A and B are shown apart, each in its own frame.
Chain A
């Protein structure tokens, strides 16, 4: 273990040192090859110009190389693999896509993903908004927000253990140690094995993600609410609006843009949700989702890369509209400058 700590420290030094050495060295090399000082005026101007052309690429170069290897190349390669067979050797056309839409498990995953997409972003945004509004009104709001925000730091696996403990079921007559079943039993209900309850188990898994992400929505929306001009609220009060009217007609329309951002951010997260399903049910009892199915096919029976890639592409297709919207927004912003 001590060796591991040493090698980790060593690597940090090498890694960071390497980065520093690269940027410093490349920069130095550029100054030496095209010197701007100590040469005649015309040459200096020429060299300065050359430096100006080259230097940006020295700065963005490492990032571009890494992005190309780790994100851009894989996107192209995954697309290519989705048209190949399991080992990636033979072209099979659209066979993988045909398989996907005929596969019961895949269709179940699509259906579940749609339910997740319909429920989780809406629930997080709605709860986050309500909590943001309520906590703004009380003196211990900051502490409350901190505590609701806290699950955001917890890993999905950790959160799954936390909630699995809440959903824990023990046979009839035994003491229920899962909080949910204990409450149900206290009120005279019948304890259930929540995570294997067909259809509804999806919602018990969604609760975990909602529990984690509501804090995110709350923080972003809370800051947007602070940005609402006081005058609009005061005017509404003078006009005799009640708190609900103020909330729905004055506050919500003014933070519409932020709500959209929160909604899309959580939507992307939902499309990628994997850990929760893997640890809670691993897709059993009809709770499969695309991301987990994809992981499953990557390794199932030695791995079927064709089918895995196909599922990845389908997740990607769902993300593309949001991606286009983001790029447009960003372009608008830069043009505004």
Chain B
């Protein structure tokens, strides 16, 4: 390959730049929600996440204390204090008293509000308002100001989504769905794959063809009949139709064609000599399978397990059809979808929830990428 590469410095440099741009496009979106999920929720809407490391400026509104807080000084009535109260300090650049002109006066200047009333608001939030007459209103003066807040990162969003938005619960539900739905098909598929690869029986070729055909049957074909079947079984036995058992079996069924296909092509490639020498030693098919085939097939079993895990964890359609949408059953993807509807503009909730839903696949993916890629290659290159 190196021989075919353009040798000039410019073209080599160009390749680096091009790849760098691709990598940037493919990572920046995910980075965006990770950074946002760690930002203060007021800052998320005040500035783009790419500005999160610089101070963000925003226009806010506050209210000065009511008339009861005034003191009389040298014949004038004075209100004094800090507009931020006990809240976090920010840096004020300008202020105003009309919503139409929220930044009319630079910070630190004294604004003349008419009738001899003056207001001075300093950069640190301290203010002095004076008037020749006593203040009367029990509602304090409304003040608008442009403030810039230093970058603020927090894990509060995670606290919120995990414990009060129900994401924590959904996380457990997702695990409850995913682990059995990953483990159950493996054994069933492994036995079937062994029989299809190494045992002779009538109809074997047909069975293999059927499985390859089923590989591409859209899930949509199964939904309505299974929904009817589940409802029927549910009402016949007087049990709920939406159960974890139901979804485990559904995921097992939908995952089986690929599992059998993947495992069969691997198991068929195991050396014949090993099987035959074991058979001569008097081992039965069951013993050969358990003692020889299973251990040798570990890599492909791992590949399938990762596939199935990611597929089930990331699935939305099956979960929405076969599982309830209440707290004790709703999985992460369905919960995230519901939040998109109910908390549409609350990006601190959405970005954080999204990150919680993708973190497990990302960990699995990064730690076991080798097996994943191997499965991908075996699963698609050979037969399609």
Contacts and interface: CB of A to CB of B under 8 A. Distances in A.
B211 A67 contact: yes
Contacts of B244: 8, 11
Contacts of A261: 380-381, 384
Contact of A330 (B3, B32, B212, B220): B212
Given A56-B195, A75-B221, A243-B4, A329 B384 contact: yes
Given A157-B316, A162-B33, A233-B1, A59 B172 contact: no
Interface string A145-180: 011111111111110111111101000000111110
A137 B17 CA distance: 12
Interface residues of A, number: 126
Given A1-B169, A4-B172, A271 B218 contact: yes
* Chain A CB within 10 Å, residue with most, of B4, B50, B313, B315: B4
A162 B26 contact: no
A211 interface: yes
Contacts of A146: 366, 369
Given A144-B19, A177-B44, A157 B336 contact: yes
Of the candidates A24, A134, A215, A271, the one having the most CB atoms from chain B within 10 angstroms of its own CB is A134
Contacts of B212: 326-327, 330
A11 B188 CA distance: 16
A177 B47 CA distance: 6
Given A294-B220, A333-B382, A161 B22 contact: no
Contact of B222 (A70, A155, A325): A70
Interface in B318-363: 320-321, 328, 333, 336-337, 340, 347, 350-351, 353-354, 357-358, 361-362
Interface string B57-81: 0100000000000000000000000
Contact of B384 (A153, A265, A279, A305): A265
A69 B253 contact: yes
Chain B interface mostly helix, strand, loop or mixed? helix
A171 B218 CA distance: 41
Contact of A8 (B176, B199, B209): B176
Given A59-B195, A72-B214, A274-B317, A176 B48 contact: yes
**Interface hub of B11, B220, B228 (most chain A Cβ within 10 A):** B220
Contact of B314 (A8, A16, A154, A329): A154
A220 B376 contact: yes
B49 to A, nearest CB: 7
A179 B32 contact: yes
Interface residues of B, number: 126
B207 to A, nearest CB: 7
Contact of B316 (A59, A155, A168): A155
B12 to A, nearest CB: 8
B317 A275 contact: yes
A165 B254 contact: no
A279 B337 contact: yes
B249 interface: yes
Contacts of A176: 48
B188 A66 contact: yes
A150 to B, nearest CB: 7
Contacts of B20: 144
A209 interface: no
B195 to A, nearest CB: 4
Contacts of A329: 383-384
Contacts of B384: 260-261, 264-265, 322, 325-326, 329-330
B284 interface: yes
Nearest to A8: B176
Contact of A66 (B15, B252, B313): B252
Contact of B49 (A20, A59, A177): A177
B187 A20 contact: yes
B373 interface: yes
B194 A165 contact: no
B252 A155 contact: no
Contact of B191 (A63, A278, A322): A63
A312 interface: yes
Given A260-B384, A319-B218, 12 more contacts: A66-B188, A66-B252, A66-B256, A75-B222, A77-B225, A150-B27, A150-B30, A155-B316, A155-B361, A166-B29, A246-B4, A323-B216
Which 4 pairs of residues, A with B, have the shortest CB-CB distance? A70-B253, A155-B314, A59-B195, A63-B192
